[in-house]
Amino acid sequence: MRKKTFIVLILLTFVFEAVMTVNFLQKSAENEQDTVAINHCLKTVEENFGQKEKYPTDMEYALIAPSGEVLFQTSDKTETSVYEAVRKNAAILQVEKDGQVVGTMLFHNDILERIETWRRSLVITVLVSAIVQAILLILYHRSLQKTILKPFSELSSFAERVAGGNLDLPLPMDRKHIFGNFTEAFDLMREEIKKSRKAEKEANDAKKEMVAKLSHDIKTPVASIKSASEFGYELAKEEKVKERFNLINYKADELTILVDNLFQSSVHDATEIQVSPKENDSESVREAILHADYLQKAGEFSIPPCQVFTDKLRLQQAFDNVFINSYKYADTEISVKAWLEGGYLKVAVRDFGPGVTDEEVAVLKEKYKRGKNSEGKEGAGIGLYLTSYFLKEMDGEILITNEDPGLQVLFLIRTV
């Protein structure tokens, strides 16, 4: 059933009810009796009082004696008591003979019967209208279910399938209902998402292949650097030069591991990088900071002796990321302070550069987020994200705050 047809039929039932109600009210108001006929009947009875055969019989009335006796009655419907006549709003007239009241005429008024008849008719009309409206509503509901509710349910199921990654099953289209064009647009969206997913997969596969090739190509020069540093270490005579060659050798080993991690992270998500913490001496934290600060901008610092729960390689990467960011964006001296508090070894690494805005501080640990001061400088915005991930995997965390001046990264390293 169409919406316009439904509305017209419902309106017609309401109009029918309204007409019947108005008619009922009009009929209820018609309670006046024919006064001319009543007066003529009264005069005839007065003139022929006592002669019943001459009394008018064309009206419904009763003649009552002053004692209450019924002297004459033209119909059984006629009221025989003044109380009943008053209740029905009937005409009540006194009959006089020779100046004396000899009786009372009670004229029948059927207003109550008429009202009751019309009330029944009105009730029946309302009930019939209600039944008709209920049938119309059922028919309209079925129509709505077919043209709106069912298509909408199909759209909801389709959206759930798309959200779940099922992009192969098309959405049936029916242009007869109001969702026809909408379902077509939904199915076009499915096709576009499917194409986009395919292109994304091809791009990821190409990226993985490229990273795999780069990883393989990088290992060869790194091996050469490591070999040269070991040879230089053996030939060096000064202790300071030996330390430099030893640092190059250490970084070459670290670079080899990082290249392997790069390959693994290209195949899997970055958060699948393995972190294997265990009990270590806090001296390993000092060594990680010294190796990360290859420009030696941190100056003197001390680490309280304790046992920490760390993965040495991942902790080294974490400090590397923080120091590289400081070199790149601040290029100032670096302050390193460490203390024990609340089950953690806390290490604060702070530079004295321009820092970032408070809004940017809140998102620096998210993937691919960088501050405005990074414009024109290389970087992917993943360093602090990985640093935060590594520390969490070691039951710790990092806290980034703006200082005056500079930016501070506070390492919370769990103690054992």
**So what's the pLDDT on residue 325?**
87
**So what's the pLDDT on residue 286?**
95
Beta-carbon contacts of 213 under 8 Å, excluding residues fewer than 6 positions away, are none
Q: How far is CA 215 from the centre of its chain?
A: 46
Please give the CATH topology (third level) of the domain spanning 274-414: Heat Shock Protein 90 (3.30.565)
162: Cα within 13 Å, side-chain hemisphere? 18
Q: HEC string of the chain? A: CCHHHHHHHHHHHHHHHHHHHHHHHHHHHCCCCCHHHHHHHHHHHHHCCCCHHHCCCCCCEEEECCCCCEEEECCCCCCCCHHHHHHCCCCEEEEEECCEEEEEEEECCCHHHHHHHHHHHHHHHHHHHHHHHHHHHHHHHHHHHHHHHHHHHHHHHHHHHHHCCCCCCCCCCCCCCCCHHHHHHHHHHHHHHHHHHHHHHHHHHHHHHHHHHHHHHHHHHHHHHHHHHHHHHHHCCCHHHHHHHHHHHHHHHHHHHHHHHHHHHHHCCHHHCCCCCEEEECHHHHHHHHHHCCCCCCCCCCCCCCEEEECHHHHHHHHHHHHHHHHHHCCCCCEEEEEEECCEEEEEEECCCCCCCHHHHCCCCCCCCCCHHHCCCCCCCCHHHHHHHHHHHCCCEEEEEECCCCEEEEEEEEEC
Strands 70-73 and 278-281, sheet pairing: unpaired
**Which sequence spans correspond to the domains of the chain?**
32-108, 181-263, 274-414
Provide the whole-model pTM.
Answer: 0.44
The amino acid that residue 162 corresponds to is V
**So what's the pLDDT on residue 390?**
93
**So what's the pLDDT on residue 165?**
66
The amino acid that residue 369 corresponds to is K
Q: Which of 228, 334, 248 is nearest to 291 (CA)?
A: 248
**So what's the pLDDT on residue 272?**
61
**So what's the pLDDT on residue 60?**
87
Q: Which of 368, 350, 348, 370 is nearest to 359 (CA)?
A: 370
**So what's the pLDDT on residue 315?**
94
Residues in the chain predicted with pLDDT less than 50, given as ranges, are 31
* Class of CATH domain 32-108: alpha beta
